[in-house]
Chains A and B, each alone.
Chain A
Amino acid sequence: MTALETKTASPVADVKLTAAKSLKLPTAVLAVDAHPEGKRLFAACLDGGIYEISADSGEHKLLGKHESYASGVHYLSKSDTVVSAGYDGSLRWFSPAEGRQSRAVKAHKFWSWKMRVSPDEHLVASVTGQFLAGGYKYEPAAEREPSVKVYDAETGALRWALPHVPPTLSVAFSPDSRFLAAGNMMGEVRVWSLETGKQVATWTTPDFTSWGIIKSHHYLGGIFDMAFSPDGREVCVCGMGPMVDPMAGNGRQTWQRFAWGDAPPRKVLEIKDAEAGTGLMESLRFHPNQKLFLMAGRLAQGKWNVGLFDTASGHLLHAQDTKMRVCDSVWLNGGSRLALGGATSQERATKDGRYPDFGHIKLYDVSGQGA
């Protein structure tokens, strides 16, 4: 079967995104989530703010603020609570109904790069780590605090403090909430059992990390987002391929999937060369129908910064250039809608002293995604 035949044989071959609404926020959106009904969106923003946004009108209200960038947000449907993370190293809980912060936990001394909530909503995981020079070639120094922290979502109590090599940039729960995976700048992935706290798998992929040759002799890049496959057997990671100049931001848009339970873990699938442009990919989400997954980020060169891929074959099914950097994404309404959170460039203040909005949440209708 040819690649084209494989692609067209996919049950979601006709999937398509159609722009439905574009909402503006004063400042960049670094993370986005939604109420299951899709009417209420939640955003973690560059000004530290955690906002609740009406998906219909775009009106937004501030639930509370971190002391630096807010980098993660999740709506806990069982308790009607929003939990967030930020570059101030804290996790914060908010009650949207009461419009106030209900709890704050200092999770890290450095930033929370990424926060995720377990599918059963019992646990909150956050990853951290400052990149500090650890060697002549600027290999990252060993961690100074646990790079991975797992908290009880209901009480805020610490459940696990797990080691990794900083900076640890991404984290994901398995669909059954029993395992946690985290990836770092050097492309190392570790998987732990959340029942025992023991590390059960680790591997390193060299395909997401740059060592600067042209301008700077140091490392950069890494795994910026990850997700377990719907059956839990694979971990899919995303980011950007190696560059000779890490500051160019033009590494290949890249995802790879690993059978993490194999000994040793092995790569089973990756993005096809011909389907990738360049640019940092920061968001990876499997569709609720499990038949496709999304990778999104920033476009450097190429045609798209949001791609929908066939889970079975890995082929790109549909792609778009959203004209903004996508930092996070969430499926709404069972997968019939997609929300992308991100930003365009900051601009100079206008003559009357107003700072132009540069945060965006773009909503897309999803068609052809199957039952």
Chain B
Amino acid sequence: MGVTDLRGVSGESLNMTDNTEPTESGVCTPPEHTLHRRLFLQGAMGAGATSLLSWNGLFSLPAIAEQAKKQQKHCILLWLCGAPSQFETWDPKPNSIYGGPFKSVPTKIPGVHFGELMPRCASIADKLAVVRSMKTKPNEHFQAINLLQRGAPPREPFIRPTLGSVLAQQLGHLDSPIPNFILLDPCPEGNEFKEFKAGNWAGWLGAQYGPVRAGGEYKLADVNRLVDTTTQDFEQREALRRFLTKKYQNDRASTAAASENAVFSRVKGLMSCAELFDMNKIKPKDRERYGPGNFGLHTLMARNLVENGAPFVMVSNGMPWDCHVFQHEIYQMLVPEVDRIIFNLINDLEERGLLDKTLVVMMGEFGRTPWLNTSRGRDHYPDAWSLAMAGAGIKRGVVVGATDKDGVDVIEKPFNEKNLFATIFTALGIDPYVEYDAPDIATSYRVEDHAQPIREILA
């Protein structure tokens, strides 16, 4: 192994370097590998040799695997960072002075229209739940991203875990080779989102519930076993490494060694599912339906990961929705893309029997102003915005909440981030009101203030 850039544990980038020089043949054979290595392998090969590119590979007993598979819930968050405009998507106002140049199209739900750039979503509106009355407070990206990712305002110095970390803990399996929280984000930048990405995602839950980041430039590098290393050799070396590191950890009471062991475990898991992160392995027909843009292809990757057992996958692509200028010019491309992606994702999950146990959430951190600025862009607007959900625990074909004729304010059923998180947890069968059991934190609950879920969209 060379350097593995494994992003995500607690937001950190962990660069693991093995300085062992390869032999001429390219096979890594450090001297200690010859020392009694078979002694460490007893029992290890059984699990190690199992193919892990299938759900059954996660479990030693097929019956347990089948049972777990039936019960497993998943969540895909299409994180439309930068904050999409509700006017061009879920809550068009074509007759308003603020409506913009796009019209609206009727949907499968009688009397409900979406923006004209979303005809495919309109055709599956009977599978979606749309909330048109989100009303939150922060008006700036970082604060709003933080709020919508964590579900409650910050309370320093305690760091609340993000949605993905909570779901990783609640839906995931600690021994799963497929990471419990995967962040697919092909755009490594993103202004405030970049700043957020560099922070602590898992909060008081601990680093093991942080995301593994992949996508775009974030390749899962060096997770392929060298071609001339047999599975047996690999397992032998890994067992030796584990033994020595554990011994070091015990002798020295080293937390660093413990962290390293955790990272190695994760990398080993990634090695077994690396193909799921390989864009070249995507079928051309799927590529055509979701692509050609990188957001679509990474959403397709998320579908494949969920199909193979990943509990939570978040797909983002920088902050493309923050259109203070060129709003119409960018939206004419972005909205049709996301329309096609949502359409294919929902239909694919349904065809695969996964929609009823996979919650798909499509949202940004706030909405956009009704009024256009001088550049004919729309600015930040948390006062009245929209999001959509579909799948596990969610009623199909429902629109809840309403804004006034110009989309300036919510006139019916305002909901905030706490209502949203209560909805997501409830839909996934997770108790929203459990008190966190973590050392040295103030009394905190999964959803604060006993905020109610959006019952109108719960199945």
Contacts and interface: CB of A to CB of B under 8 A. Distances in A.
A172 interface: no
Q: Which of B82, B329, B373 has the most chain A CB atoms closer than 10 A to its own CB?
A: B329
Given A216-B320, A220-B329, A132 B336 contact: yes
A26 B376 CA distance: 15
Interface string A93-125: 000000000000000001100000000000000
Contacts of B186: 217
A213 to B, nearest CB: 6
A134 B189 contact: no
Query: Which of B103, B318, B374 lies at the interface centre, i.e. has the most chain A CB atoms within 10 A of its CB?
Result: B374
Interface centre among A111, A214, A218 (most CB of B within 10 A): A218
Given A27-B97, A216-B319, A247-B325, A136 B291 contact: yes
Interface stretch (B222-230, B292-300, B418-426, B441-449): B292-300
B371 A346 contact: yes
A133 B98 contact: no
Contact of B103 (A68, A130, A216, A298): A68
A128 to B, nearest CB: 11
Contacts of A245: 191
B101 A87 contact: yes
Interface centre among A130, A135, A215, A345 (most CB of B within 10 A): A215
Interface residues of A, number: 44
A217 B329 contact: no
Interface in A19-60: 27-28, 47
B324 A249 contact: yes
B189 A132 contact: no
B375 interface: yes
A48 to B, nearest CB: 9
Contacts of A27: 97
B330 interface: yes
Interface string A321-365: 000110000000000000000011111110000010000000000
B190 interface: yes
B326 A220 contact: yes
A220 B319 CA distance: 15
B375 A249 contact: yes
A163 interface: no
B406 interface: yes
A137 B320 CA distance: 13
Given A68-B101, A132-B333, A247-B326, A215 B191 contact: yes
A131 B333 contact: yes
Given A249-B375, A343-B374, A349-B406, A214 B101 contact: no
Contacts of B400: none
Nearest to A69: B101
B98 A346 contact: yes
A215 B318 contact: yes
A27 B372 CA distance: 11
A247 B333 contact: no
B337 interface: yes
Contact of A247 (B98, B323, B406, B408): B323
Contacts of B406: 349
A218 B297 CA distance: 15
A135 B329 contact: no
B317 interface: yes
Given A215-B82, A215-B190, A325-B375, A133 B325 contact: no
Contacts of A69: 101
Contacts of B408: 348-349
B322 interface: yes
B318 A249 contact: no
B187 interface: yes
Given A131-B333, A215-B189, A346 B372 contact: yes
B332 interface: yes
A248 interface: yes
Given A218-B333, A325-B375, A249 B293 contact: no
Interface string B300-342: 0000000000000000011110111110011011101100000
Contact of B330 (A220, A280, A348): A220
A167 to B, nearest CB: 8
A217 B337 contact: no
A298 B374 contact: yes
Contacts of A187: none
A138 B333 contact: yes
Chain A interface, >50% SS class: loop
A325 B326 CA distance: 13
B338 to A, nearest CB: 11
Contacts of A212: 318, 320
Interface in B78-104: 82, 97-98, 101-103
B80 to A, nearest CB: 12
Contact of B293 (A47, A133, A246, A347): A133
A370 to B, nearest CB: 33
Given A27-B97, A131-B332, A247-B324, A217 B191 contact: no
A61 to B, nearest CB: 19
A135 B292 contact: yes
Contacts of B323: 247
A220 B323 CA distance: 12
A217 B101 contact: no
Nearest to B97: A355
Contacts of A213: 189
A216 B318 contact: yes
B97 A347 contact: no
Given A218-B333, A220-B330, A346-B372, A247 B322 contact: yes
B219 to A, nearest CB: 15
Contact of B376 (A28, A111, A247, A349): A28
A349 B375 CA distance: 19
Interface in B54-80: none
A225 to B, nearest CB: 15
A136 B293 contact: yes
B374 A325 contact: yes
Interface in B130-165: none
Nearest to A246: B326
Interface centre among B326, B333, B371, B406 (most CB of A within 10 A): B333
A173 B294 CA distance: 39
A217 B317 contact: yes
A348 B320 CA distance: 26
Q: Which of B82, B293, B296, B408 has the most CB atoms of chain A within a 10 A radius of its CB?
A: B293
A279 to B, nearest CB: 9
Given A212-B320, A218-B320, A248-B325, A133 B292 contact: yes
A218 B337 CA distance: 12
29 contacts: A68-B102, A68-B103, A69-B101, A130-B332, A133-B337, A167-B332, A212-B320, A214-B191, A214-B318, A215-B189, A215-B318, A215-B320, A216-B319, A216-B330, A217-B186, A217-B187, A217-B320, A218-B320, A246-B325, A246-B330, A249-B325, A249-B377, A324-B374, A325-B374, A325-B376, A345-B373, A345-B374, A346-B371, A349-B408
User: Sorted from nearest, which 9 A-B pairs have the closest CB atoms?
Assistant: A216-B320, A249-B325, A346-B371, A133-B293, A215-B319, A131-B333, A346-B372, A325-B374, A345-B373
Given A130-B332, A216-B318, 6 more contacts: A133-B337, A138-B294, A217-B186, A217-B216, A247-B330, A249-B324
Interface of B: 82, 97-98, 101-103, 186-187, 189-191, 216, 291-294, 296-297, 317-320, 322-326, 329-330, 332-334, 336-337, 371-377, 406, 408
